[in-house]
Structure 1
């Protein structure tokens, strides 16, 4: 403000408090009475000490930390860009923030959904991207106890014919449950067809068809003991009977 010099000093001292005010009060006389010198001294004490290159490395190397929400991550990026802007103006700062935000997000369904949203929208502001990430993250937290999260459903939605759906409307969990139910029915039908084909198959030996048969659960029937669950070559009863028979056969000395 265009205050007289003495009033400028009173306004500065009045709005300072604590350590900053004490630092100004201990300046030498010439610096303490010059507003520009006061601000220069405060910047030297409390200003950003990092170089521009260091801040840029921090910005592009910043990633979402464990337990950090997308909103907290976005604020951290904005604070870094603010420090960089104080040293050198960044052209297209909104675009830089969007790129750093998408690249630094934690891997998972939320990042996939937000990246897909950004690709679909094309030109997008950082504020819009941040709010969309916050909304998807909130839906993910609400659906955390369900089998499929809202972010996964919105990313992996498919139509009935196959492939990605053209509509932007995400699948609801009820619609996805119906699709899974229909898929289970189809798998059951295919399993029954495989079992039916297994019942009709067999090995031709000596002009006779040896078909052990199969039950509804797909288990074979043993031709040796007529029990279900194993083949004749694996029948334990056959092995037992063979050992008993061999033990009953007379030895060569008895025959003589």
Structure 2
């Protein structure tokens, strides 16, 4: 009798355990709390057969990737100030002790930046803020304050640069100046005035100067917003293409300098004069080289036709003897003077000079 009662107790306990496990499964699967409470009402809250319900908490870490830093601008593509800002945000998203934060920052370093922290005192290596100070001292901008001011005031908007890009460059230069010059006052006003002064669009510049004159308390961001709104309105009014002219919005924003019509006329006139001079030189060269052609013969030779004997022997035009021609004639002219080039052909003249030299030598 006792054995049967013990079996019934075990079956009852197993049944209650199955019910409890089913309720827990429904709760984990998103079941309604009402069904869970009804099932738990049937099962006593006390431990059943030594089994207690265990709550399981699953934590999914939210990783925020932080870029690495080596101290070289060509590798990192960011300044040390920008990297420190990114690393500080990553630390804020990770609630960790200070030592773990220092190790996290140290793992993000490469190259010379990591060696610089490695050889620092232990007290500085274990503090993330001191690590940031060391990196800022060693890898900040090396330019002097005067050089940064000169670069800032000489900066103008480029032809292919938008107004927004131009403003970002000025803001970055102003950050470098503020890091070097802590005594700078009214940095926003200086940035605003330089932004307006460096714009390429004269119409936009005039509009902004009028607004600043009317309200001296306008900030840099207010002036930049006005400039972007003005360009947006210009884009809407000139969006329709016209066949007889270029897009005026592009001409205003890009402000590409094009040569004027008088400059083109002057260039064409200069080219025309040069072409006329070349034609005159070529004509003069053609006139001087025409008599020296291979088909030219002196008038004296052209007026005296070649003569032959009945047997076909040629008669020399110089000595009037048969058997040779004037080119191979060895007769010495009267007076012992060589003939001029005008009376003897070019080929015959060389032969005469050569023959006279041979006879004088003999």
Q: TM-score, normalised by structure 1?
A: 0.48
Kindly name which structure, 1 or 2, has the bigger radius of gyration based on alpha carbons.
Answer: 2
